Amino acid sequence: MPWGGHIVGPMSDSATYLRALLEWQVELGATEAICDAPLNRFEAPAAPVSLTRPASTAPSPSGGAAAIVMQPHDGPDPVAQARTAAAQADDLAELRAAMAAFDGCELKKGARNLVFADGIPGAPVMIIGDSPGRNEDAAGKPFIGQAGQLLDRMFAAIGMGREMAGSPIYITNILPWQPPGNRDPEPEEIAMMMPFVERHIELVAPKVLVAMGNVSCLALLGKKGITRLRGTWDTALGLPVLPMFHPAYLLRNPAAKRDAWHDLLQLQAKLRG
């Protein structure tokens, strides 16, 4: 194949120590400072939002991706709000602005930047990951950390890249904001962002979608189990979808690169065909 914590010292009031302590808290998943008002932790919590996932993995009646449905609840429906905002976007710049203005997802409050996309619009291949990591959140671009560097090497091996005018790729995520502690997105977070994802796909108009990892497969196909799904073509939003291992998984499991190389050759053959 062609591609292959912080340790805090003695107590100090120095700016370096305080910065390191703050970064450590962020890595642990802290998203806000202590509240100004007291919080009664013995009070019974509010009833959680009830979520259901359709038993069928077929596309939704509108021809969109497999839906994760939020049950009715008090207050504005964030999915309906997202659907309205996404439908009003006539180009990628307007879609980005609509996502930046959307306040229905709590992840926005703890993120540094909206991570929209990278690559060349109109590319034949649109890669969809799960959510940004710490490096992506800081820079506002998807797949720029260690996993992103591996992704670039993988696609360069079949002659494709973010800035290759002749064979470009376009990269985005299901969620544009980093979840705390890099946890997996919650079903309700996926549900409220899917209208933006579907409109994003419509505006980019790729020939093929690549679903990177379990979260992307669940959002687009209504299926999980990437070791079983990878390498098998599926369909979402009227487009062929190829599930693949997420590059972060490949960094932890180098032996799986053999399967990823097989999937890349499948993608290359599909585009040539």
Alpha helix ranges (H) inside the chain:
15-27, 78-87, 92-101, 107-110, 134-139, 146-156, 187-204, 214-221, 226-229, 247-252, 257-272
User: Looking at the predicted structure, is the pLDDT value of residue 158 above 70?
Assistant: yes
User: Looking at the predicted structure, is the pLDDT value of residue 9 above 80?
Assistant: no
Q: What is the mean pLDDT of the chain?
A: 84
Sheet containing 125-129: give its strands across. 118-119, 169-173, 125-129, 208-212, 239-244, 234-236
Binned at pLDDT 50, 70 and 90, residue 6 comes out as: very low
Summarised one tens digit per residue, pLDDT across range 56-88 is 333 443 444 555 555 555 678 999 999 999 999
Summarised one tens digit per residue, pLDDT across range 202-243 is 999 999 999 999 999 999 999 999 999 999 999 999 999 999
Dihedral sign, Cα of residue 211, residue 216, residue 218, residue 224: positive
Tokens of 79: 């999915």
Question: What's the mean pLDDT in 243-253?
Answer: 97
Binned at pLDDT 50, 70 and 90, residue 182 comes out as: confident
User: Looking at the predicted structure, is the pLDDT value of residue 197 above 60?
Assistant: yes
User: Looking at the predicted structure, is the pLDDT value of residue 34 above 70?
Assistant: no
CB atoms within 10 A of CB 174: 24
Q: Are 200 and 85 in contact (CB under 8 A)?
A: no
- Report pLDDT for 224: 93
> Which carries the bigger pLDDT value, residue 35 or residue 119?
119
> Which carries the bigger pLDDT value, residue 25 or residue 234?
234
Summarised one tens digit per residue, pLDDT across range 87-107 is 999 999 999 999 999 999 999
User: Looking at the predicted structure, is the pLDDT value of residue 55 above 50?
Assistant: no
Question: What's the mean pLDDT in 2-11?
Answer: 48
User: Which range among 22-31, 60-69, 127-136, 142-151 shows the weakest confidence by mean pLDDT?
Assistant: 60-69
User: Looking at the predicted structure, is the pLDDT value of residue 172 above 90?
Assistant: yes
- Report pLDDT for 23: 66
Residue that is written with structure tokens 């390498």 in the block: 231
Binned at pLDDT 50, 70 and 90, residue 12 comes out as: very low
Which own/partner contact pairs does 200-204 have at CB distance under 8 Å and 24+ positions apart? Answer: 200/92, 200/95, 200/117, 200/172, 201/126, 201/237, 201/239, 202/237, 203/89, 203/91, 203/92, 203/95, 203/121, 204/92, 204/121, 204/122, 204/123, 204/126, 204/170
- Report pLDDT for 24: 60
Q: Are 232 and 243 in contact (CB under 8 A)?
A: yes
- Report pLDDT for 198: 98
Q: What percent of the chain has pLDDT over 70?
A: 73
For β-strands 125-129 and 169-173, DSSP reports them as parallel
In the chain, the amino acid numbered 45 is P
Q: What percent of the chain has pLDDT over 90?
A: 70
> Which domains, ranges and CATH numbers included, belong to the chain?
70-272 (3.40.470.10)
Question: What's the mean pLDDT in 110-118?
Answer: 97
CB atoms within 10 A of CB 25: 12
Question: What's the mean pLDDT in 19-37?
Answer: 60
Q: Are 217 and 129 in contact (CB under 8 A)?
A: no
